[in-house]
Amino acid sequence: MTRLSVNINKIATLRNTRQGNIPNVKLAAINCEEFGAEGITVHPRPDERHIRYSDVRDLRPIITTEFNIEGYPNRSLLNLVLEVKPNQITLVPDAHDAITSNAGWDTIANRGLISDIVAEMKEAGIRVSLFVGADPRMVEGAFHTGADRIELYTEPYASAYPFNPDQAISTFIEAAKAAEELNLGVNAGHDLSLQNLKFFKQSIPNLLEVSIGHALISDALYLGLELTILKYKECLR
């Protein structure tokens, strides 16, 4: 079964609109795990507009499933990762002012940079995943950096899915097959939802993990967090 990692950035975004600690990010993570999530994802950014570095430190001792930290690998983030030792780091090529992730790595042009970071993280015992588009060339480039996994950037799939699901998924199938041939694990994330997740899972049989935040937390406003997580997990069976 594909693992569901819940990105709790949106919980922190809501908290940060007011002083105080409501909603409580730590309690949200605990509840996600109790309701069946197999992982917790956070994406701290330099301006700390949602998840703060202090949140990452506070979360580490209480997470009992898998902890995934994603973000652009500047030195401050890498130092934080080396300090808290998550199970996985997902390297994302975000600009510092990006509203959300909007592209995968060019793993060919950035091979040297990424390879050095991958080596440093793996030496510390941290699994490394690279955020990439559905392009077999970028998948092969990820392999040459020494990464353990790729995370497929699924916004193009989510945008095209309502119009032609088969066409929307086709390049992702090719990329996942390329990863499997290279013995790279396959994760996925970005704009996956209750509407498009089941078809994605059925089409990508070697899918190890999905990281979902915005849609899942939004659905929880209507359905409640426990029922929402159960519904997402049903899509992954």
Q: Which of 84, 14, 93 is nearest to 50 (CA)?
A: 14
Is the pTM for the entire model greater than 0.85?
Answer: yes
CB 192 within 8 A of CB 153: no
- Using the predicted structure, report yes or no on whether residue 185 has a pLDDT greater than 60: yes
Taking only the tens place, the pLDDT of each residue in 121-137 is 999 999 999 999 999 99
Q: Which of 209, 236, 226 is nearest to 32 (CA)?
A: 226
Single-letter code of the amino acid located at 9: N
Residues serving a catalytic function are 43, 70, 190
Q: Which of 139, 165, 166 is nearest to 152 (CA)?
A: 139
Share of the chain above pLDDT 70, in %: 97
Domains and CATH numbers, the chain: 3-235 (3.20.20.70)
Assigned token pair, 27: 């309690």
Of the pLDDT bands very low, low, confident and very high (cuts 50, 70, 90), residue 103 is confident
Distance (Å, whole) CA 12 – CA 179: 33
Lowest mean pLDDT among 65-74, 100-109, 189-198: 100-109
Single-letter code of the amino acid located at 97: D
Assigned token pair, 233: 């997990």
Q: Which of 24, 28, 69 is nearest to 217 (CA)?
A: 28
Q: Which of 51, 100, 102, 96 is nearest to 74 (CA)?
A: 96
What is the sign, positive or negative, of the torsion defined by CA atoms of 196, 183, 110, 107?
negative
